[in-house]
């Protein structure tokens, strides 16, 4: 941190945009919203945010990459003759649901009936994914697929803006772990992009809202007093909620909540509803099965889209071998099949409001964005949970996140607007608890979720054995109380603890998150009465784990058990 | 008091030198900030005099609205995102100094914007002002107290 490094390493974990000090201010930054299903790109054009269009005049491009014998091509440049072309086995999509997940993850298991190959060994390693090229399964990784797609986006932006593009602000789901973020950064690095910020989707929307409020104040000479907004964003892959307090162009994120839940889940539920024995029928993943699963997928997707605008829909699909689906699906049935999805949406909203300590009556605007915002049930959940008749109507639900990201890109690269349109600031909050394993098998949070960033928190721990000379610091992120169900971020040992009875050495663990969301863990031991630490402190930038980290956690437990445990020092001053 | 954490680490480990370093940097904002930055590292007797009200630059009787306005005004200048773009050299040192200042302001804001915590704080403030209670960074015990206060002051 101290001085500008004389060299840069194109890196392993250091792929974040943190050391961005050397980049010239004039460099342009673009905002990218990589959705599970669709993707868009926007830029501050000097006076406002502009969503870029591809050569086919589309602002929204499908997020997929098709592998062919020569070179792969993605949804930016490619045009599908028909939706079915995406479902021949050669096309990988839903990268955002796969990236940074282990093969023990239920989301990965649900992805097994996508029309390409997803293999799992259920041991906590990266799943194997492959595309069908010339009747052979060619392996790839979610990072690689995403990188190919990002390269296309970058090329498209460079052609239109007539200048090189390097700096990006990407929107990400609230529920992404830091390990998943590091995979996104890796994909960006592979595509030659420099990540300025990874912005939780609803916070990007919050920034756009802050700008709109600011302009409204300028135009109407309004009060400019604080406004609370609840933002609900649901796309194909993820559902996110944020509560923000906005005044004077400053958007302060009060709370975030998110879950892996989206249109894809509804689609899968309906597919299973239409064809209950689907998983068995398609498990062999032969060419014929892939074609059938593709047919069913397209028909179901089409039906769900239609149900947003009409009360019922006729589904006719012939899967061959006597499997024929002829059915009228109405909204009630759709809503009943997806009841759990909608319940979860409502509970996320409630959770977010509670944690923001904002009463529903004090919410000024309720903003609904994302691909699922057209679903009538989602609208009705928002209006009923938030107790109001109307939702905020000043935003394009499919462009809000990418516009917010482009604004953040302009603000973070220090662009000034003479009319004050960029006098904006987002004060971010951490979406997940971060802590260490201590007190037996417990997860002890050090930075609580919804802590304003930048943040620095510390806790004191102590030894559990007499003359314990080493302690293992295992850092996790998540909302669970049992440490194993959280995301492992990394681990290291504190050594050289002077021999002492248990409970005497003070082991200080400090976590520092800077404004660009880089997490550093500092730890060391100080003996009571001593002015200096017994050994040099450790500074570890997290996450340090690699792909096989499901193995790591288990191996750590097996090898070290409780020998290097720690317990929390009880707070003596408790108010 | 937030910065006492920084000072613990500054004393503790050479690898954390950046904490120590930026604590000595004069604040760009107000006398109150500069004072807060310096006092917590060494000249500890002055520490109690930089109240959370002074950090926000507001009188003790400020209304909730005034506290919010003051917080936003300071955030607009001190938040690392803004601070770095106002400074063309954009050194990372500045960014972390800005982070420290912002965290101090935010801590003051979270305490004072919560009526219960504010009442508690006002009582502590009264006690702290008495000379018998001196926070001293030269012995470990003080850092300990500072930490405790800081710990219990988190409010989410």
- Mind listing the domains of chain A with CATH numbers? 29-197 (3.30.420.40), 434-568 (2.60.34.10)
Answer for the pair B111, B155: CB distance below 8 angstroms, yes or no.
yes
Distance of CA A78 to the CA centre of its chain: 26
What are the tens digits of pLDDT across the range A144-181? 999 999 999 999 999 999 999 999 999 999 999 999 99
For strand A167-172 and strand A29-34, is the pairing parallel, antiparallel, or unpaired?
Answer: parallel
Which tokens go with A220? Answer: 């109407």
For residue B19, the tally of other CB atoms under 10 A from its CB is: 25
What are the tens digits of pLDDT across the range B94-144? 677 888 889 999 999 999 988 899 999 988 887 766 554 444 333 433 333
**Chain B residue with minimum CA distance to A18:** B92
Cis upstream peptide for A543 (omega within 30°):
yes
Asked whether the beta carbons of residue A526 and residue B13 sit closer than 8 angstroms, the reply is no
Beta bridge mates, A462: A567
What residues in A contact B21, CB-CB < 8 Å? 2
For residue A496, the tally of other CB atoms under 10 A from its CB is: 13
What residues in A contact B80, CB-CB < 8 Å? 454, 514-516
Half-sphere exposure of residue A396, counting CA atoms within 13 Å on the CB side?
11
Answer for the pair A207, A233: CB distance below 8 angstroms, yes or no.
no
Residues of chain A with confidence (pLDDT) below 50 = 1-25, 221-222, 572-575
A positions 516-535 inside 8 Å of B (CB): 516, 522, 524, 526, 528-533
Which residue segment(s) compose the domain that B8 sits in?
3-153
Does residue B61 have a pLDDT over 90? no
Q: What is the signed CA dihedral for A575, B1, B3, B5, rounded to 10 degrees?
A: -40
Asked whether the beta carbons of residue A515 and residue B106 sit closer than 8 angstroms, the reply is no
**Chain B residue with minimum CA distance to A531:** B140
Across the interface, of A454, A460, A573, the residue whose CB is closest to B152 is A573
The mean of the pLDDT values for chain B is: 61
Which tokens go with A505? Answer: 């050495």
CA distance A463 to A568: 9
Nearest residue to A91 (alpha-carbon basis) of A114, A107, A110: A114
Closest approach of A450 to chain B, Cα-based (Å): 7
CA distance A546 to A548: 6
Whole-Å CA distances, A210 to A173, A252, A364, A405, A559? 20, 9, 13, 13, 51
DSSP string, A76-99: TT---SSGGGGGSSSEEE-HHHHT
CA distance B106 to A432: 19
Report pLDDT for A73.
79
Asked whether the beta carbons of residue B152 and residue A571 sit closer than 8 angstroms, the reply is yes
Answer for the pair A25, B86: CB distance below 8 angstroms, yes or no.
no
Single pTM value for the model: 0.84
Residue from B3, B20, B72, B128 whose CB has the most chain A CBs within 10 Å, to mutate = B72
Asked whether the beta carbons of residue A1 and residue B92 sit closer than 8 angstroms, the reply is yes
A positions 204-233 inside 8 Å of B (CB): 226
At residue A292, the 3 state secondary structure works out as: helix
What residues in B contact A508, CB-CB < 8 Å? 8-9, 12
Number of domains in chain B: 1
Query: Could you tell me which residue, B81 or B18, shows the higher pLDDT?
Result: B81
For strand A73-74 and strand A519-526, is the pairing parallel, antiparallel, or unpaired?
Answer: unpaired
**Chain B residue with minimum CA distance to A251:** B72
**Per-residue buried b or exposed e for A82-94, using 16+ beta carbons within 10 Å of the residue's own CB:** eeeebbbbbbbbb
What residues in A contact B103, CB-CB < 8 Å? 454-456
Report pLDDT for B20.
35
Report pLDDT for A485.
73
Answer for the pair A551, A124: CB distance below 8 angstroms, yes or no.
yes
B positions 124-153 inside 8 Å of A (CB): 140, 145, 147-149, 151-152
| CA Rg value for chain B | 15
Which tokens go with B120? Answer: 């508690």
Cis upstream peptide for A492 (omega within 30°):
no
Asked whether the beta carbons of residue B85 and residue A538 sit closer than 8 angstroms, the reply is no
**CATH code for the domain in which residue B42 is found:** 1.10.287.110
Report pLDDT for A483.
65
């Amino acid at each position: 941190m101290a001085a500008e490094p004389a060299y840069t390493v194109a890196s392993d974990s250091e792929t974040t945009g943190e050391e961005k000090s050397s980049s010239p201010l004039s460099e342009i930054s673009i905002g990218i919203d990589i959705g599970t299903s669709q993707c868009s790109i926007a830029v501050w054009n000097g006076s406002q945010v502009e969503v870029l269009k591809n050569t086919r005049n589309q602002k929204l491009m499908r997020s997929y990459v098709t592998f062919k014998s020569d070179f792969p091509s993605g949804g930016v440049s490619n045009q599908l003759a028909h939706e079915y072309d995406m479902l021949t086995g050669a096309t990988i999509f839903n990268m955002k649901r796969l990236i940074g997940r282990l093969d023990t993850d239920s989301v990965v298991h649900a992805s097994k009936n996508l029309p390409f190959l997803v293999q799992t060994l259920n041991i906590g390693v990266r799943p194997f994914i492959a595309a069908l090229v010339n009747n052979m399964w060619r392996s790839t990784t979610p990072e690689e697929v995403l990188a190919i797609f990002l390269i296309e986006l970058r090329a498209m932006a460079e052609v239109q803006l007539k200048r090189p593009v390097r700096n990006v602000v990407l929107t990400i789901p609230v529920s992404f772990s830091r390990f998943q973020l590091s995979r996104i950064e890796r994909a960006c690095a592979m595509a030659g992009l420099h990540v300025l910020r990874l912005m939780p989707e609803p916070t990007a929307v919050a920034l756009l809202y802050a700008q709109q409020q600011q302009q409204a104040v300028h135009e109407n000479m309004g009060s400019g007093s604080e406004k609370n907004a609840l933002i609900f964003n649901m796309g194909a892959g993820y559902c996110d909620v944020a509560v923000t307090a906005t005044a004077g162009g400053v958007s302060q994120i009060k709370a975030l909540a998110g879950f892996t839940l989206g249109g894809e889940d509804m689609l899968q539920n309906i597919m299973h509803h239409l064809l209950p024995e689907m998983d068995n029928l398609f498990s062999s993943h032969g060419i014929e099965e892939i074609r059938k699963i593709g047919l069913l997928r397209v028909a179901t997707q089409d039906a769900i889209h239609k149900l947003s605008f009409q009360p019922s829909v006729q589904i006719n699909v012939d899967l061959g071998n006597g499997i024929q689906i002829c059915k009228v699906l109405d909204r009630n049935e759709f809503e009943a099949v997806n009841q759990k999805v909608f319940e979860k949406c409502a509970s996320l909203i409630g959770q977010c409001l509670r944690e923001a300590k904002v009463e529903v009556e004090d919410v000024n605007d309720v903003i609904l964005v994302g691909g699922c915002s057209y679903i009538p049930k989602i609208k009705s959940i928002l209006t009923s949970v938030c107790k109001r008749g109307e939702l905020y109507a000043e935003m394009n639900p499919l462009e809000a996140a990418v516009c917010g990201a482009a604004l953040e890109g302009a603000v973070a690269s220090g662009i000034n607007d003479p009319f004050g349109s960029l006098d904006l600031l987002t004060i971010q909050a951490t979406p997940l608890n971060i802590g260490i394993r201590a007190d037996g098998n417990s997860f002890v949070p050090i930075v609580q979720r919804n802590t304003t960033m930048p943040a620095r928190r510390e806790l004191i721990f102590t030894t559990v054995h007499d003359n314990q000379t080493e302690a293992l610091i295992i850092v996790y992120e998540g909302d669970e109380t049992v440490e194993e169900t959280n995301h492992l971020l990394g681990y290291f040992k504190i050594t050289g603890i002077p021999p002492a009875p248990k409970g005497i050495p003070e082991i200080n663990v400090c976590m520092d998150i800077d404004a660009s969301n880089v997490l550093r863990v500092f730890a060391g031991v100080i003996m009571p009465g001593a002015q200096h630490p017994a050994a040099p402190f450790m500074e570890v930038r997290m996450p340090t784990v690699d792909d096989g980290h499901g193995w790591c956690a288990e191996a750590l437990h097996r090898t070290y058990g409780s020998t290097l445990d720690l317990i929390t020092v009880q707070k003596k001053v408790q108010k | 008091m937030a910065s006492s954490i920084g000072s613990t680490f500054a004393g503790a480990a050479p690898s954390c030198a950046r904490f120590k370093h930026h604590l000595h940097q004069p604040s760009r904002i107000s006398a109150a900030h500069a004072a807060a930055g310096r006092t917590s590292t060494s000249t500890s007797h002055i520490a109690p005099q930089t109240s959370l009200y002074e950090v926000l630059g507001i009188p003790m009787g400020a209304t909730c609205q005034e506290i919010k306005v003051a917080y936003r005004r300071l955030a607009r200048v001190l938040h690392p995102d803004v601070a770095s773009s106002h400074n063309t050299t954009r050194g990372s040192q500045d960014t972390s100094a800005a982070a420290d200042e912002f965290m101090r302001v935010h801590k003051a804001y979270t305490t004072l914007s919560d009526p219960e915590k504010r009442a508690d704080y006002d009582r502590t403030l009264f006690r702290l002002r008495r000379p018998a209670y001196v926070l001293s960074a030269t012995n470990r015990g003080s850092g300990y107290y500072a930490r405790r206060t800081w710990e219990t002051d988190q409010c989410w």
